[in-house]
Structure 1
């Protein structure tokens, strides 16, 4: 298959995957609401960089080991669920701020940068659904005869496109017209994200152990 037809297929499949709600969306939404645009952008960049992690192990063949070793994939799933639960407990404990605390929340934006970046990177890097997506992509959609340089371009595109998508989402969620409302009422979104993260963690664990029992 030539470059452009294969690239367009990959770009379309990737767009559908990145736009679907999941842990990445939950993390960006939480940081956008709780800490503002800068932190949400950092989280988005972390997610984008984590894409390169998936691309790397898919290119070097480590993905085959993960796919053919059930206990290793299950361990990845458990670690991901535990991390989501860790994030959820912080979100669920969010408290309603007083009006005067809005400025204090703004001041928390700057030191949250690296933490937000790390949260985005770890969330995507440990996401077993992302692992399955890239394993399937490189095994089924991308031809075995595709040159390594093309595969590298595909990977770089998906990393940049993912970061760009969530950065745009960050800007939309932190529009100045809704920023004040989010600062004062954001704790409800925080708690909602906490519930969502718990649900995502539970789904990961149930699907993992359910498949294990079924197998």
Structure 2
């Protein structure tokens, strides 16, 4: 009964998740700088972050957020501050010598910290707030049962985590990672610049 609606959700979500943004930048940064395990946990965090947007959209809180300028701005400022903070960490990256690269003794990140980096990047992204609010008000009918809507959300969590896990796997392979690590500090700085730029752009963006 809801297959047509579900397929629409699949297509819209695919277009959204494949577009460049903070999630992709963080996953790429962790894939190259920290390795496969950290990148996979980051991807899982990004996927689980989506459930935050799904829950408040289903409960109708997303509508309240969209109508409250100060609440929306608080979320926007928090998200921008977090992106700028992790971007600055990348800008401060130092060059590693050949021994460090070969031994893979770069920066380490716990599984929990890697997961939280992905979770917070997605969960604090106000653009995601607007996307899911639009999705649950325009694409998904208000008459669709809550359990079905939550089912859509679980699909998006899984699909997002899988998408970024695939990217993590590709960019953390030994050959690809070794090539990037040879200029790793420049890659970290580039990703840092992207994240800071996204944060600043988000900070000064309008609600529209």
- Which interval holds the TM-score relative to the shorter structure? over 0.9
1:192 maps to which of 190, 193, 208? 190
Query: How many Å apart are 1:106 and its aligned residue?
Result: 4.2
Note the 1:97-136 alignment, pairs <5 A. Answer: 97-102=96-101, 105-106=104-105, 108-109=107-108, 111-136=109-134
Distance 2:11 2:53 in 1: 18
- Aligned residue in 1 for 2:57: 58
Query: How many Å apart are 1:104 and its aligned residue?
Result: 5.5
Deviations 1:29-70 (A, max 9, x none): 110011011100010000011111110111111111101101
Note the 1:26-105 alignment, pairs <5 A. Answer: 26-102=25-101, 105=104
Match of 2:182, SS state, is helix
More helix per residue: 1
Where structure 1 has 5 or more consecutive residues not aligned to the other structure, the ranges are none
Relative to structure 2, which stretch is displaced further, 34-43 or 181-190?
A: 181-190
CA change 1:207–1:107 in 2 (3 A) is closer
Match of 1:12, SS state, is helix
Relative to structure 2, which stretch is displaced further, 161-170 or 193-202?
A: 193-202
Match of 1:207, SS state, is coil
Deviations 1:117-159 (A, max 9, x none): 1110001000000000000000110001111121011000000
Normalised by the size of structure 1, how large is the TM-score?
A: 0.92
Normalised by the size of structure 2, how large is the TM-score?
A: 0.95
Q: Between Structure 1 and Structure 2, how many residues are aligned? A: 208
Answer whether contact 2:33 2:107 (CA < 8 A) is retained.
no
State the Cα RMSD in Å. Answer: 1.5
Distance 2:203 2:47 in 1: 25
Match of 2:183, SS state, is helix
Match of 1:45, SS state, is helix
Deviations 1:185-204 (A, max 9, x none): 22211111111011101111
Query: How many Å apart are 1:107 and its aligned residue?
Result: 6.7
2:176 maps to which of 175, 178, 183? 178
- Aligned residue in 2 for 1:20: 19
Relative to structure 2, which stretch is displaced further, 184-193 or 118-127?
A: 184-193
Relative to structure 2, which stretch is displaced further, 167-176 or 155-164?
A: 167-176
